Chain A
Amino acid sequence: RKEVEQDPGPFNVPEGATVAFNCTYSNSASQSFFWYRQDCRKEPKLLMSVYSSGNEDGRFTAQLNRASQYISLLIRDSKLSDSATYLCVVSSGGGSQGNLIFGKGTKLSVKP
C-alpha cells in the first residue's frame, strides 16, 4: 500500500461546482496533514493544514479522520483560478515528523 494515495483524477468541473478530493495515508504515526496546491510548472504551495476538528478557509474545507486514516478537501463554488493540482501531504511520522510524504496529486480543471 502506498504511503499517501489520492483520487486519480483528473477532475473536470464547471465554474460554480462543488468538488471533493479524497486521500488515504498508511502511517498511523503521522501527526500533521496538509493540502498543497501546485500550478502547472510551478512549485507546490501550502493551501491549508488539516486538523482533526476540521477546518475551513473561505470556499475550502478540509477534514481528517484519524481512525480511517482519511483526509478530504472540499472546494465550493469553483473558480477558474482553482485549476491546479492538489497534493495531499502527510508528515512521515516517528522521529522525523517535519519530513513530508506527498501524494501524487489530483488535477482539477475548472471550465467556464
Chain B
Amino acid sequence: DAGITQSPRYKITETGRQVTLMCHQTWSHSYMFWYRQDLGHGLRLIYYSAAADITDKGEVPDGYVVSRSKTENFPLTLESATRSQTSVYFCASSPSGGAGDTQYFGPGTRLTVL
C-alpha cells in the first residue's frame, strides 16, 4: 500500500540550478496538487492537475513548472532555483477534486536553496 510518495525527501541545491521534485500516487486519483509550506504562511497551492495533461496555476506558481503525462506522476520543476524557494513541498491527491473531497498528502520534500 504505497499511497502517495515523494522523492527526494531532502534536497540541497544552489541558486540558479534546475531541480525536479517527484510525486507518485498508486490510487489512480484524478486530481493532484503541489503545495509549499513556510513559517508564517501555512500551506499554499503552487499548481494542481485535474487529469493527465491538464494543469492549472494555484496561488504561488511563479518560478515553477509542472507536467502530468501519466495519471500517477506529477513532477514539480524549479527552473532556476532561488533562495526564496527554500521550503517544504507537499504533493497531494484526491479522487475527484470535488467539494468535500479529502486530499491525501505525501510525506514532503525539504528543499534548501543556498
Contact = CB atoms under 8 A, between A and B. Distances in A.
Contact of A32 (B35, B40, B100, B105): B100
A1 interface: no
Given A98-B96, A98-B101, A43 B90 contact: yes
B60 to A, nearest CB: 13
A108 interface: no
Main secondary structure of the interface of B (DSSP, over half): loop
A99 B48 contact: yes
Given A31-B99, A43-B106, A104-B41, A98 B31 contact: yes
Q: Which of A43, A45, A103 has the most CB of B within 10 A?
A: A43
Contacts of A97: 98-99
Nearest to A51: B100
B45 A98 contact: no
B99 A91 contact: yes
Contact of A98 (B43, B99, B106, B107): B99
30 contacts: A31-B99, A31-B100, A32-B99, A34-B102, A43-B90, A43-B105, A43-B106, A44-B43, A45-B105, A49-B100, A49-B102, A87-B42, A87-B43, A91-B99, A97-B99, A98-B94, A98-B96, A98-B97, A98-B98, A98-B99, A99-B33, A99-B45, A99-B97, A100-B103, A102-B35, A102-B42, A102-B43, A102-B44, A104-B41, A105-B42
Interface of B: 31, 33, 35, 40-45, 48, 58, 90, 94, 96-103, 105-108
Interface of A: 31-32, 34, 42-46, 49, 87, 91, 97-100, 102-105
Given A31-B99, A44-B105, 20 more contacts: A32-B100, A34-B102, A42-B108, A43-B108, A45-B105, A46-B102, A49-B100, A98-B96, A98-B97, A98-B98, A98-B99, A99-B45, A99-B48, A102-B42, A102-B43, A102-B44, A104-B40, A104-B41, A104-B42, A105-B42
